[in-house]
Amino acid sequence: MQSTGQQPQATAVKEEPKQPPKPVPPPEFQSEKIRTLDEAGLIQILKDPSATTFQKAKACQRLASTGTKEAIPALAALLTDPQLGHYARYGLEPIPDPSADDALRGALPKEKGRLLAGVIDSIGKRKDAKSAGTLARLLNNADPVVAQAAAAALGNISGLEAAKALQSGLGRTKGAMHRAVAGAALACAEGLLAQGQRAQALDLYSMLARPDVPKPVRLAAMHGIIAAETSLSRPR
């Protein structure tokens, strides 16, 4: 076979386009270091006036899982901060020490609007019975967000003082606030049963079974009465 004299052409290798480097956030938005700090380091961030809002928010989030009594003053100092108040409450809520309740209770007269409603919500989650009297007064707050938050917190806390406040609220509220109080009273009645306050729970259920109570709550209250009266553990 005769050669043509032509050399085979080399196949061109197609280069892959270079990927742009992954963007690196500026130092003030880097959270890796914060994730490794101990409690003392996190507290220092909260106290540092040069720390950014982002850094303080991340420190609050970390303290929700690592915080102890030592972190409470630094977290409490941020409760009135419009940007960091929510994060401070998030950090405080899981700390079992009673001084966390004291901090939230102490913030109530300093707050208003949604910040106040947020503190009230945290108090309800922690079931701070010492706050029941203050929350009862906040049922009359002119801000419906605050008043409804107070009702929900009383329902979560339950107990005799909360039940008395919600019973009073049922008789003098209307519209959305009446619905909020009714729902909270239902939760309160369930809490009373769990606490062994059967007679008081049945009194509250009976009040919630009236025709002027929103139907879903009324039906749930009637079910609660039947369940309590037919329970094998009921007093005989």
pLDDT tier, 148 (very low <50, low <70, confident <90, very high otherwise): very high
Distance CA 45, CA 205 (A): 49
| 27-36, Cβ contacts within 8 angstroms, sequence gap of 24 or more | 28/52, 28/54, 28/55, 29/54, 31/55, 31/58, 34/58, 34/59, 34/62, 35/62
Pick 17 or 200 by higher pLDDT. 200
Is residue 110 very low, low, confident or very high in pLDDT (cuts 50, 70, 90)?
Answer: very high
- Residue 146's pLDDT band, with cuts at 50, 70 and 90, is very high
**Are 148 and 179 spatial neighbours (Cβ–Cβ below 8 Å)?**
no
pTM of the model: 0.84
State the pLDDT confidence band at 32, using cuts at 50, 70 and 90. confident
Whole-number Å distance between alpha carbons of 192 and 157: 10
Tell me the two tokens of residue 14: 């197609």
Residue 157's pLDDT is 97
More confident residue, 5 or 58: 58
Q: What domains are defined for the chain?
A: 30-110 (no CATH), 113-236 (1.25.10.10)
Q: DSSP per residue over 186-231, as a string?
A: HHHHHHHHHTT-HHHHHHHHHHHTSTTS-HHHHHHHHHHHHHHHH-
The three-state secondary structure class of 98 is helix
